[in-house]
Every structure is written in C-alpha cells, then in structure tokens.
C-alpha cells in the first residue's frame, strides 16, 4: 500500500470536515471534544473554539494534542501534533482555510471570544479497514524525523558545523566552529555511532528529501553522576542538548517534532522529565521551547557562555 502524502492528508481532512480532538487536562488526563476541522495547504489542522473553553486552558498549559478523523466510512486518520493560537498573518491564513471549508461559520471568526487553533502535525497514520483491505501506514508528512544511523557521520558533521556558524551559536552551543572543524573523521564516526544506538545518548535528525534540516540530541543522565556542566545530579532525567533547525524551517513546527522524538525516547526509558539549559539572552530559543511544552524550573545557573535558564517538560 502506497503511503498517504501530505497533499492526500489535506484532501482527506477537508472531505470529512470533523473529528475528535484530545488535549491534556489539568490533572494529566485526556479531555476530548468533537469539532469541525479543516486543513491548510501546508497540512496544518485548523479548528475554532471559545476562548473560555477547557481546550484553550489545556493548550496554554500543554500544547500536545491528538486527533482522530473519519471512522464511519471504514477509514481513519489518527494524528498527533503541537497546537497553538495563531496571530497576525498566521491567523489570517488559518482563518481563510476555515472560511473556505465552513462558510456558515465565517461571521463567528470576527467574535473576539472565538479563537482559532492551529495544529502542526508531528505524526499521522492512515488506516483503511474496509472489507478486503485492513491495512494502516504512517503518513509521509514531508520531512522525516528519525534517529541517526551510524554510517551517517558525514551529513551529521556537516549539520553540526552549520549549526556552529549560526548567528546565535556563541550563546547556544558549548563548542565553536573552529574546534569542531578540526576534529578528525574518526571523532565524528564515533560520535555518530554512539548516538545511533543504545540507551545513553540519542540523536534525532530531520531530513527533507536529501537535505538535513534539523537535529536534537538527548542524553540519559542518572542521579549521582555529573551533567554536561559538571554539576552533580540529584535525580534521573533526560536532557536535551544541541538543538538546531535551519533558518528556513524555523516557525514550521519542526523543532516540536524533534523534541517530541527526544521526549518519546526518554519516556520509553522510564524518565519522567525532559530538561534543557538555554542562555538567558537567547529569547528565540526560549520561545520555541515554551511552545514545545517546556517551562522554566526557576533555576538559573552559570554556564560557560553565561547565565543559563533551566527548562523542564514533564513526560
């Protein structure tokens, strides 16, 4: 069975026009609602809701959602993603998609008490359970996010060097381009092999066709050991380091997909939190992490590049 692509996903969502959306309640339990849903050309799901709804309160705390569309005709689309409440031009694009799909609801969008919710998908699976078919496959969302392979040390090195040339590299990374560029091939072979397998460290990469466009590494850290800043750890945790997305992909939701992959890895190993340190002056990165479900722990520490804010995402 050929995999559904993003264009076919958009067509499927628009043809059905409704589904069930689940968000995370204040006690960590799922809360579901049946809603009118459409999709933008980019494959983002769009719905509207009252500002006073429990969905909005949930999404302000935790942006993770799950969506199920279809079922009555024997086919289903199961989705997971990161939701936000778009503003400005982003809201205009979502509003146009919503008006095109549901002209009868157009006037409600002018009501300030009605908000639009945009869901950027991080995973989707299409199932066809009609008689004689019974199959399901993940949807090709356009950019693959997966764990790095041991033999991919050359593109992994190239992406690392590009990250260290970024304008924010001086406060975002603990390495420099000059130091990384002088490392041997064997250094990168070993680095990539260690991140490709096992339960100590994992690198997840985003690949668009043949282009590597993003990466994040997550480290398993155990209580009683030292973290990458040589600070003693009091408890077990999974820690994100080296997060990078190319400029043209920023704002696309790709960093959410990478961080979700890191979170799934940590959760599967039994960790209950994902942590990271971000420079106090790196507002762009802090905003991205907040949108991905991280919140400041209240702890600020002195890192090699200056004051770092610790942020935590519960798993």
pLDDT value for 145: 87
Task: Indicate the length of the chain as a whole number.
Answer: 315
Cβ atoms of residues 55 and 47 within 8 Å: no
- Structural domain includes residue 299: yes
Question: 161 with 250, same domain?
Answer: yes
Question: 110 with 230, same domain?
Answer: no
Question: 308 with 233, same domain?
Answer: yes
Question: 104 with 156, same domain?
Answer: no
Output b/e per residue, 218-234; b: 16+ Cβ within 10 A. Answer: bbbbeeeeebeeeeeee
Among residues 106, 138, 170, which one ends one of the domains? 138
Question: 212 with 180, same domain?
Answer: yes
Task: Read off the pLDDT of residues 100-131 as tens digits, 9 standing for 90 and up.
Answer: 999 999 899 989 999 999 998 888 999 999 99
For residues 44 and 47, what is the distance between their CA atoms, to the nearest angstrom? 10
Task: Read off the pLDDT of residues 235-286 as tens digits, 9 standing for 90 and up.
Answer: 788 999 999 999 878 877 889 889 999 999 999 999 999 999 999 999 989 9
Question: 104 with 67, same domain?
Answer: yes
Task: Read off the pLDDT of residues 9-53 as tens digits, 9 standing for 90 and up.
Answer: 999 999 999 999 999 999 989 999 999 999 998 889 999 999 999
Among residues 103, 121, 138, which one ends one of the domains? 138
| Nearest residue to 313 via CA among 51, 105, 24 | 24
Question: 149 with 250, same domain?
Answer: yes
pLDDT averaged over every residue in the chain = 91
Question: 109 with 201, same domain?
Answer: no
For residues 247 and 20, what is the distance between their CA atoms, to the nearest angstrom? 34
- Structural domain includes residue 148: yes
Question: 83 with 164, same domain?
Answer: no
Cβ atoms of residues 40 and 93 within 8 Å: yes
Among residues 138, 169, 186, which one ends one of the domains? 138
- 44-48, 84-88, 196-200 — which is least confidently predicted? 84-88
State how many domains the chain has: 2
CATH code for the domain of 190: 3.40.630.30
- Structural domain includes residue 236: yes
- Structural domain includes residue 19: yes
pLDDT confidence bin for 228, thresholds 50/70/90: low
Output b/e per residue, 195-210; b: 16+ Cβ within 10 A. Answer: bbeeeebbbbbbbeee
Question: 16 with 109, same domain?
Answer: yes
For residues 228 and 237, what is the distance between their CA atoms, to the nearest angstrom? 13
- Structural domain includes residue 117: yes
- Structural domain includes residue 214: yes
CATH code for the domain of 33: 2.30.110.10
Domain interval for residue 192 = 144-314
- Structural domain includes residue 260: yes
The 10 Å Cβ neighbour count of residue 58 is 20
Residue 8: helix, strand or coil by DSSP?
helix
- Please report, rounded to a whole number, the percentage of residues in the chain having pLDDT higher than 90: 67
Q: How many CA atoms lie within 13 A of 170 on its CB side?
A: 2
Question: 283 with 160, same domain?
Answer: yes
What is this structure's pTM?
0.64
- The angle formed by the CA atoms of residues 141, 79 and 59, to the nearest 5 degrees, is 110
pLDDT value for 296: 93
- Structural domain includes residue 1: no
Question: 24 with 109, same domain?
Answer: yes
Beta-carbon contacts of residue 137 (< 8 Å; ≥ 6 apart): 1, 3, 4, 125, 126
Largest separation between any pair of C-alpha atoms in the chain: 63
């Amino acid at each position: 069975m050929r995999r559904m692509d993003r264009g076919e996903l958009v067509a499927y969502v628009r043809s059905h026009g409704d589904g069930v959306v689940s968000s995370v309640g204040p006690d960590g339990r799922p809360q579901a609602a049946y809603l009118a849903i459409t999709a933008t050309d980019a494959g983002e799901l769009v719905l509207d809701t009252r500002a006073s709804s429990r969905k909005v309160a949930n999404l302000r705390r935790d942006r993770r959602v799950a969506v199920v569309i279809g079922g009555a005709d024997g086919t289903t689309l199961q989705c997971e993603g990161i939701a936000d409440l778009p503003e400005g031009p982003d809201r205009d694009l979502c509003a146009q998609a919503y008006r095109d799909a549901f002209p009868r609801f157009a006037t409600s969008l002018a009501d300030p008490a009605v908000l639009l919710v945009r869901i950027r998908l991080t995973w989707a699976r299409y199932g066809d359970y009609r008689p004689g078919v019974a199959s399901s496959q993940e949807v090709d969302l356009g950019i693959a996010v997966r764990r790095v392979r041991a033999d991919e040390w050359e593109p992994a090195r190239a992406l690392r060097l590009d990250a260290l040339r970024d304008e924010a590299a001086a406060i975002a990374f603990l390495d420099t381009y000059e130091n990384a560029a002088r490392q041997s091939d064997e250094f990168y072979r070993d680095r990539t092999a260690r991140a490709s397998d096992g339960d100590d460290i994992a690198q997840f990469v985003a690949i668009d066709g043949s282009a590597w466009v993003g990466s994040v590494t997550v480290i398993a850290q155990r209580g009683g050991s030292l973290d990458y800043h040589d600070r003693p750890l009091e408890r077990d945790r999974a820690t994100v380091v080296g997060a990078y997305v190319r400029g043209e992909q920023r704002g696309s939701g790709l960093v959410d997909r990478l961080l979700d992959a890191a979170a799934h890895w940590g959760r599967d190993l039994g960790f209950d939190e994902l942590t990271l340190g971000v420079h106090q002056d790196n507002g762009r990165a802090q905003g991205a992490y907040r949108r991905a479900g991280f919140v400041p722990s209240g702890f600020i520490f002195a890192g090699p590049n200056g004051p770092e804010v610790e942020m935590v995402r519960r798993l």
